[in-house]
Amino acid sequence: FGPAVGQTVIRGQQGRRVMNLNNSIANADASGNSADHSVAVEAILANAIEVLRGPSTLLYGGGAIGGVVNVIDNRIPRNLPDSPLFILETRHDTAADQTNSIGRLEFATGNLAWHLDGLRRDWNNLDIPDLAIASDYLDDDEENTTGYIRNTAGKSEAATIGVSWLFDNGFLGVAINQMENFYGLPPGAHGHEEDQHGHEEDQTEDSDESVFIDMDRTRYDLTGEWRNLTPWLEHVDYRLTMSEYQHVELEGVEFGTRFSNDAWQQRLQLTHTEIGNWHGVIGLQSSDEEFGAVGEESFIPVTDITSRGLFLVEDYHGTNYTLELGARINSDDYNPVNGIAPDRDFSTFSASASLLLDLASSTTLGLTWSLSERAPSVEELYSNFNLTDSNTCVIHFATGACETGDVNLVEEQANNIDLTLYFETGNFNASITAFYNAFDDYIGQITTGAEIQDLPVRAYRQLDARFSGLEVDTTFIVNNFVELQVFGDMVNGHLNDNGDAPRLPPSRLGARLNVIGDNW
C-alpha cells in the first residue's frame, strides 16, 4: 500500500491483534480496520518505544495476541527541566525526495513544565530501478510506469502543546495534538482496471482515478500521577484521552468512504508495594467509541462501541527465578446506530504466565504461556451487512474488493507458548527464542472466488490457524570499541484448509557492526 502505510506486524500478527499505543493509550484510529490505513502516531517524535509480549500485554488489552507497541513521548512532561531544551532535526532521503523537519522545545516556568513540538514531512513518488508492475499482470504496458511507483507521494503535518503542574509526590498535565496525513495508494493496492461503476480506469500519470487517503486526527490527553500515597500503595496512574479521527478515501476528485472514530478512553492503574516478594498492578480500563464508515461509499455502519476491562499483573522474585502472572476480563458491546444491524456483546478472558530461570551465572531459560481471547471487531461483524445481491455491495475501492462481515462470529481464542534460551561465554552472548501459537476460531478475510462488478469478494470467516517461528540474536564483543551483532528470524503461518496466512513477514538474516570511541 505504498511507503506511507507502515503497520506493525509481530510474529505474523497484525491489525486488531497488535495494539498500537501512544503513552499507554490506544490509538483510536482506523489502522486496525484495513491494511491500507496508516497508524495515527509519529514515532519520529518518540522518547522511547516499548515492544511488549507475555503477561505485560494484559495491562492494555486481552486481544493483543501478537503484542503491544507503546510509543512514548514527552507531550505531558513528568519532570521540570533544569534549563530550556531545544531540538531541531532534519532528514532527507533521495528515493522518494522526502524531507522531514522536526522541532521541539521544553522549558519550565515555576512549577509548570511546558512541551511544544512540530513536524512536517513531504515526499514524492518512490523511485525504483525498473517497472512498477510486472508486465505479466497488465494487458497494456502503457498503463505501467518505469523508474517510479505512481501515486505514492504525500505529506504529513503534526503539532503538540502540553503542560504539567509538578508537586512533591506527582504531577498533573494536559496536552493537545493535531495530526494531518495525506497520501496516495499505488495502483496495485486497489488494482482494478475498471472502477466500481464499470468504466475503464485511466491509469496514466494524470489519472483522475488515483486513490488518496486524507486523514485528520485531534487528540486531547489528561494524565495524573501520584506516588507513595499510603504504605501499601506505591503508585497511582490515571489517564484520560479524547480523540476525534477521520479520514476520507478519494478516487481522484470523487468522494468515496469517510471513516470516523470519536473516542473517550481512560485507565486507572494502581501499583502496590512489595508483599511477600510479590509486586504488581491492578487496574481498570474503559473506552467509548463511535466508529464507522459514512458517505455514499460506506460499507461499515456507524457503531457505538463500549469496552470495559479489569486486569491484574503480578511478579514474584525468588532466589534464582522470576515468576510473572497476569489475568484480564473484558466486556465489549457493539450497538449499530438506528438499529440497522443487530447488537452484539462479548465477554472475554485472558491469562498469561512466564518463568525466568537462572540455570547458571551465564545462562537463563525463559518460558511463557498465554491464553488470549479477542472479540470480533466492527468490520469483521458488520461489513456490507445488508448485502443481498451484487447491486447492494459497497466496494472498498482502496483495496479494490467487496468485503463482507459475519454478524454471527464468536470470540477468537489463541494459545501461545514461547521458549527462550540466553547464554553468554567470554565475549559472546546469544538469545534464541522458539514460539508456537494455536488459534481456535481465527478470524481471517478469505477470498471466496466470487466476483461482484468484476472485483473479488472477500469475506470474514472463522477457521483454526497455527503460527510458529524462531528468533536468534547474537553479539560478539571484539574489543572495548567494536562489537558485531548477527540476528535473524522466521515465522510460518497456516490457516486450516485455506493455505498460508496473509502478509507474513519474510525470513530475515542480518548483521550490525557497532563502533564506539571517545565522543562518537
pLDDT in tens, 429-458: 999 999 999 999 999 988 888 888 788 899
Residue 420 pLDDT greater than 90, yes or no:
yes
Q: Which of 223, 214, 220 is nearest to 244 (CA)?
A: 220
Per-residue pLDDT tens over the stretch 302-337: 999 999 999 999 999 999 999 999 999 999 999 998
Please tell me the predicted confidence (pLDDT) of residue 3.
83
Residue 189 pLDDT greater than 80, yes or no:
no
pLDDT band at 203 (very low <50, low <70, confident <90, very high): very low
Mean pLDDT of 151-163: 95
Residue 206 pLDDT greater than 60, yes or no:
no
Nine-digit cell string for 33: 480496520
Per-residue pLDDT tens over the stretch 224-282: 999 988 889 999 999 999 999 999 888 766 777 788 999 999 999 999 999 989 999 99
Q: Which of 309, 270, 268, 303 is nearest to 287 (CA)?
A: 309
- Cα torsion at 20, 178, 31, 104 (round to 10°)? -50
Mean pLDDT of the chain: 89
Please tell me the predicted confidence (pLDDT) of residue 259.
86
Please tell me the predicted confidence (pLDDT) of residue 205.
45
| Predicted model pTM | 0.88
Residue 93's φ and ψ, nearest 5 degrees, are -125, 140
Per-residue pLDDT tens over the stretch 370-416: 999 999 999 999 998 877 665 678 887 777 888 899 999 999 999 99
Please tell me the predicted confidence (pLDDT) of residue 443.
93
Residue 190 pLDDT greater than 60, yes or no:
no
Is residue 6 within 8 A of residue 38, CB to CB? The reply is yes
Please tell me the predicted confidence (pLDDT) of residue 197.
33
Tell me how far the alpha carbon of residue 209 is from its chain's centroid: 29
Per-residue pLDDT tens over the stretch 41-75: 888 889 999 999 888 889 998 888 889 999 999 99
Mean pLDDT of 203-221: 76
The identity of residue 294, as a single letter, is V
Helix intervals (H) in 325-483: 378-382
pLDDT band at 188 (very low <50, low <70, confident <90, very high): low
Please tell me the predicted confidence (pLDDT) of residue 4.
85
Residue 509's DSSP bridge partners are 488
Helix/strand number for the chain, H first, E second: 1, 25
Radius of gyration of the chain (CA): 24
Residue 453's φ and ψ, nearest 5 degrees, are 55, 40
Q: How many CB atoms lie within 10 A of CB 330?
A: 23
Please tell me the predicted confidence (pLDDT) of residue 187.
79
pLDDT band at 192 (very low <50, low <70, confident <90, very high): very low
Is residue 6 within 8 A of residue 18, CB to CB? The reply is no
pLDDT band at 160 (very low <50, low <70, confident <90, very high): very high
Tell me the Ramachandran region of residue 15: left when phi exceeds 0, alpha when psi lies from -120 to 50, beta otherwise.
left
Nine-digit cell string for 13: 500478527
Tell me how far the alpha carbon of residue 490 is from its chain's centroid: 20
Nine-digit cell string for 108: 519550565
Please tell me the predicted confidence (pLDDT) of residue 32.
78
pLDDT band at 162 (very low <50, low <70, confident <90, very high): very high
Nine-digit cell string for 508: 530475515
Is residue 6 within 8 A of residue 183, CB to CB? The reply is no
Integer CA distances (angstroms), 475 to 358, 423, 430, 434, in order: 20, 11, 6, 19
Work out the end-to-end distance of the chain between its first and last CA atoms, rounded to an integer number of angstroms.
38
Per-residue pLDDT tens over the stretch 461-476: 999 999 999 999 999 9
pLDDT band at 111 (very low <50, low <70, confident <90, very high): very high
Is residue 226 within 8 A of residue 244, CB to CB? The reply is no
Q: How many CB atoms lie within 10 A of CB 189?
A: 18
More confidently predicted of 331 and 29 = 331
Q: Taking the alpha carbons of 69, 188, 2, 213 in that order, is the dihedral positive or negative?
A: negative
Integer CA distances (angstroms), 363 to 323, 432, 488, in order: 17, 12, 20
Residue 195 pLDDT greater than 60, yes or no:
no
The identity of residue 28, as a single letter, is A
